[in-house]
């Protein structure tokens, strides 16, 4: 599945660079960086990407099948990471909807999927799947130190390249299963919000219970007044209660 791997010592953002050149590279192209000066997270946040500390990579997808929402790709990538860490290091990783990879409630990394139109093929969407993991120990600036952690804080002898290979292998399999909508069962197993009480940080925020996560990656919640809501917005954050 993977075609080209380009590895950079230091660049702005693997997602940004891959988006810029998406039309000239095939599906399965991987960009890796040792450091990102403008690592991006979801909702316009920065993703701290210091040299030698993490795994920062992006994969280019040019799906030939209909993908209704990038939520499903995000979820596949999150499951790929959670499974890889579980298999290699036997740790109980969780996914906080939709894209946060957590261990003991602290964030180890996240996924940022971006989509666009290829310059020369106005019909076909491409997706850039950005995966960022805090691998080696680092001092996070406040307030990140309250919410972020690293793999090395819990695991000895972490090897970020072995981790990258495991994640990419898992992702190739899960991506192939996207067309059949079978990806989301493992997602439920790793999800920390499935059948949990959450606070939806919308405007205004509200408390809710997560009844289901559907094959499109959407959250089905029941509010305290017993009304139901389907959440699919990338702009909404949630907090476990």
Q: Which residues bind ligand BTN (CB under 6 A)?
A: 13-15, 36, 39-42, 45, 47, 49, 56-58, 99, 110-112, 130-132
Measured from the CB of residue 119, what is the shortest distance to ligand BTN in angstroms? 21
Residues ≥6 apart with Cβ < 8 Å to 39 = 13, 46, 47, 48, 49, 56, 132
> What's the min distance (Å) between Cβ of 189 and ligand BTN?
21
Nearer to ligand BTN, 21 or 179 (CB): 21
Residue nearest to ligand BTN (CB): 110
Min. distance of Cβ 109 from ligand BTN in angstroms? 7
CB of 36 to ligand BTN, least distance (A): 6
Give the distance from CA 164 to its chain's centroid: 13
- Give the Å distances, CA to CA, from 21 to 31, 77, 105, 190, 238: 11, 21, 36, 34, 34
Choice between 47 and 184, CB closer to ligand BTN: 47
**Nearest residue (CB) to ligand BTN, 153 versus 222:** 153
């Amino acid at each position: 599945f993977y075609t080209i791997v380009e590895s950079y010592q230091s660049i702005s953002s693997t997602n940004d660079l891959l988006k810029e050149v998406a039309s000239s590279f095939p599906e399965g192209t991987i960009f890796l960086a040792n450091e990102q000066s403008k690592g991006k997270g979801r909702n316009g946040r920065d993703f701290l990407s210091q040299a030698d500390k993490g795994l920062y990579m992006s994969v280019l997808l040019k799906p030939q099948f209909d993908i209704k929402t990038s939520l499903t790709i995000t979820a596949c990538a999150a499951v790929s990471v959670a499974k890889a860490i579980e298999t290699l290091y036997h740790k109980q990783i969780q996914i906080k909807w939709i894209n946060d990879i957590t261990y003991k409630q602290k964030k180890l990394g996240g996924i940022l999927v971006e989509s666009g139109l290829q310059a020369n093929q106005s019909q076909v969407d491409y997706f850039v799947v950005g995966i960022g993991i805090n691998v080696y120990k680092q001092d996070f600036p406040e307030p990140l130190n309250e919410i972020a952690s690293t793999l090395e804080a819990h695991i000895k002898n972490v090897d970020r390249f072995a981790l990258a290979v495991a994640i990419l292998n898992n992702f190739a399999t899960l991506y192939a299963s996207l067309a059949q909508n079978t990806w989301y069962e493992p997602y439920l197993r790793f999800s920390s919000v499935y059948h949990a009480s959450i606070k939806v940080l919308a405007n205004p925020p509200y408390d809710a219970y997560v009844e289901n996560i559907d094959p499109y990656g959407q959250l089905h919640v029941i509010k305290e007044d017993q009304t139901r809501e389907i959440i699919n917005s990338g702009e909404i954050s949630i907090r476990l209660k």
